[in-house]
Every structure is written in C-alpha cells, then in structure tokens.
Amino acid sequence: MQKYIKKHSILFLAIILFFTACKKDYGNLNNATVEDLSSNASQSELNNLVSGTESGMRNSLNFYLDDVSIIGRETYRFSGSEPRYVLDLLGANDATLNGSNFYITFPWAAKYRVVKNCNILIQAATNSTHINDAQKKGYIGLARTIKAYQLLLNLNLTYSNGIRVNVADPNHLSPFVTYDAGLAAITSLLDSAKNDFAGASVSFPLAGFVGFSDAAGLTQFNRALAARVSVYQKNWQTALDDLNASFFGLNRNFNIGIYHVFGTGSGDQLNPVFIPQNQTGEVRVAHPSFAAQIAAGDDRIDKTSLRTSPAALSGLSSDRDIWLYTSSTAPIGIIRNEELILIYAEANIQLNNLPEGIKAINVIRNGHGLGSYTGAVTQPALITEMLNQRRYSLFFEGHRWVDLRRYNLLNTLPIDRTGDDVWSLFPLPVTEQ
C-alpha cells in the first residue's frame, strides 16, 4: 500500500554559519565575523571554511541513511528509545510522517547548514585579496559542487514537495521549486562549478578526496555527481557525457571515489551508522529480503553478517546485522566508481544500446562472483537486472528508495506488517511553515 504525503507550506529554517553539530575542530574562528570573512578573508580562514564544510557534510548522515533505507526496505533500525523508526517510517498502525519529527528536521537542517557555509565560502573567496584568481576559482568551484550535492540529498527526501535553491539571504529566501526545477538548478550549479575548475588552483586541504584533491580531480568528482543527476532527469546521453569527464572506468576498482572520513582524534567524529555485531537494544539490521533474494555466490552478502540470535521489535525481525561499515572509523562513500558503472549500464540500456549495457552489468556481476547475464536481451528485462544490481552494489548507500521511485516501482517493495505503508516522499519540516 502506497500513500502520499500532503504538502506543507514552510518557512526556511534559521541556519547558522558554523554549525554546532559539527564536532571536528578546525581552528578558532570565534574572532572572525561573517562580515570579516566576506570582506577580506585570509587563506587560513578560507581553508577553515573548506574543512568545516567538508566535516559538516557528515552531520546527521545517519538520519538520512536510515530514512531512505528503512522506507526502501533495505534495513530496519531497532531502537529501545526511539520507536518512530519502526512506526512512522514504516507507516505502522495508521502512523504518518510528521514534519516536526527528527527524521526530516535533522537531515534537512544539516544539509542547509552546509549550503550556508558554501554561500559564505563563495562570497569570502570572491572578495579576498589574499588569493589570486586561479585560487578563487578553486574555492568557488568546490563550494558550488558541495552545495549542489547537499541540495540534491534534501530533494531526494522531499521529492515533489521541492526545495529552496537560493538561500543566500535569510531575509529574502527564494520560494520552493518543483522537483524538476530543483534538479535543473542543481545541474546548473554543477555546470558552473565545472567551469570554475577550468584554470583553477586548489590550495586547500581535503580529507575525503584522496586522488581527487586537485582541480582535475575535483572536476571528475563534479561530473560524477552530474551523471547521477542526469539519470534522475532521464537525460541519458548527457549522463554518458558526464561519465566521460568523471573518474568512471569499467576496468577500474569499484571503490575508487570520494568519501566521508572519520577518526578517533580529539574533536573528530566517528562513523554515525556503525553498530557492532550482535548488539541488543540499539540495532541496525538488514531487511530479510536482502539475504532471501540475493543470488547464490554473490559476495555482496558480506555487507551483512549473520547474528548469533535474531533481533526483533514491534513484529519485525532480522537475523543479519548491517556490516557494510565494519568499524567506528570506516569511511562512507559519497560516490564510487561502482555506481558510475551502473549509471553507464542504465544510460546505455535506456538508449537501446543493449550490448553495451550488458557489458557493464557483467562487469558488476563478475566482480561479485556471479556469472555473466543470461536473461532476455530486452530493454525491460535489462532495466530489471540493472536495478537489481544497484540494489546489492549500492546497499545502504542511499539509493534503493530513490531508484524504485523514479521507475514507479515503490509498490513492489514488501509490506512487513498488515497496514504498513511505503512512503513516496517526506513532508517539509513544520518549522518552515
């Protein structure tokens, strides 16, 4: 059973420049006002803004991943202190999604805090006399790319309820735009950033961009994100063009990419979705269908681990822990080559270049211990196969719910209890009314 959330009119959240939820220490900026930074920031201050922005992307990431993974029937989140994971998010007992609850207010606010930081970074870099024009391009290109990424995550949540795109002036916020207009604005931001990186000099540190921390690498990151947006827009040839300018490669390691990174150092932050195996009380487990429907010999089963005894709550149970992130400092992917290979498969299938689509699918299948594809060579059959490979390759990375929604397949997700619902979108935060 699938229900749709009514729209709410909203007022944009009050957002601060330096987000209190960010736990990593990047120097003392207490003596620097927004006006100081905007008028003539030093390179050290600009670098602090970059580091704070990168760190801020990690805040409330657990809520975002739980949101999309629970509704997408990838996972359960059993919590003795928070029943809304198994009630609201699954629509149990006539429960509905509420715009005042943590599952939308926390990730929504966290993403817009990063957007605010990006806006300040753009203004600060533009007005700084301490850096040259090529360096300015580097800061601005990064800020626009990350801003686009954060807006995309919020749009994934609220879907046709839309997002605000222009929030640079808290006193004159832009109106909400539709889903399609939001994607178009995000694409425009990414394209502007790509142009910024042309001739840019990157002179700032980046923690999760190993191999991609110069202008060329950031351009590849930018185009990888653009390819993701292009498939959301059904711009299939554009997606292939974006891939050609990214770090995509059929013969490259699946895990090449850009990551959120974590550490145990003073003031740093731990992976917020890591839970040790066989925990009780606070548990994150795989939906039973993950193991029940995986092909024999598929090594992606190792993204889960068999528990010594099943976990259960509120009529739900699972015998497999999430074991994708196996330590408190394990990185979380922002975008990886494995996703890009699957985007390549999808775009080619949609363009009816079926042999090339099969080639990419076989790269994924063979890379995970499976034989080559032997099913029907038709577009519908290959779309089904591609979505199945995305299900297992991108498990608990925030894609399944979005994928099935864009193919109008949310009604194929399992209903775990009588009366449960599969939601298609989140309401806008009530604090924005």
Structurally, how many domains does the chain consist of? Answer: 1
Angle among Cα 158, 1, 8 to the nearest 5 degrees reads 30
For residue 42, pLDDT over 80 is answered with yes
Q: Is residue 189 part of a domain?
A: yes
Q: Considering the chain, what is the average pLDDT of its residues?
A: 92
Domain that holds residue 209: 31-267+330-337
Residues 197-234 pLDDT 10s: 999 999 999 999 999 999 999 999 999 999 999 999 99
**Lowest-confidence segment of 132-141, 264-273, 303-312, 364-373 by average pLDDT:** 264-273
| Residue 418 domain-assigned (yes or no) | no
> Residue 138: inside a domain, yes or no?
yes
Greater confidence, 11 or 326? 326
E-state strands within 287-351:
304-313, 316-322, 332-336
This prediction has a pTM of: 0.92
Model confidence at 381, in pLDDT bands (50, 70, 90)? very high
Residues 212 and 218 sit within 8 Å (Cβ to Cβ): yes
Q: Measuring CA to CA, how many Å separate 299 from each of 291, 333, 345, 357, 369?
A: 11, 19, 20, 22, 6
pLDDT at 24: 36
What number of CA atoms fall less than 13 Å from residue 39's CA on the CB side? Answer: 5
Residue 57 lies in a domain: yes
How much is the pLDDT for 38?
Answer: 73
pLDDT confidence band for 433 (50 / 70 / 90): low
Which ranges of 159-286 does DSSP label H, i.e. alpha helix? 179-197, 215-232, 236-244
Domain assignment present for 389: no
Question: Is 352 among the domain residues?
Answer: no
Neighbour-count burial for 356-375, b at 16+ CB within 10 Å, e otherwise: bbbbbbbbbbeebebeebee
**pLDDT, tens digit (0-9, with 9 covering 90-100), for 151-164:** 999 999 999 999 99
State the average pLDDT over residues 63-92: 97
State the pLDDT at residue 170: 86
Residue 230 is predicted with a pLDDT of 98
Report if residue 405 sits inside a domain.
no
Label residues 300-323 b or e (16+ Cβ within 10 Å = b).
bbebbbebeeebebbebebbbbbb
Statement: residue 51 has pLDDT above 90:
yes
**Would residue 289 count as lying in a domain?**
no
Degrees to nearest 5, angle at CA 56 with 223 and 179 = 50
How many angstroms separate the CA atoms of 376 and 121, rounded? 51
Using alpha carbons only, give the angle 272, 277, 281 rounded to the nearest 5 degrees.
75
223-244 per-residue burial string, b: 16 or more CB within 10 A, e: under 16: bbbbbbbbbbbebbebbbbbbe
The two structure tokens encoding residue 331? 């990185």
Residue 35's pLDDT band, with cuts at 50, 70 and 90, is low
Supply φ then ψ for residue 273, to 5 degrees.
Answer: -110, 0
* Residue 332 near residue 259 (C-beta atoms within 8 A): yes
Please list the alpha-helical segments (H only) found in 29-178: 34-40, 43-56, 61-71, 102-127, 133-158
- Domain of 88, CATH number, reads 1.25.40.390
Tokens (6 digits) for 43: 């390179």
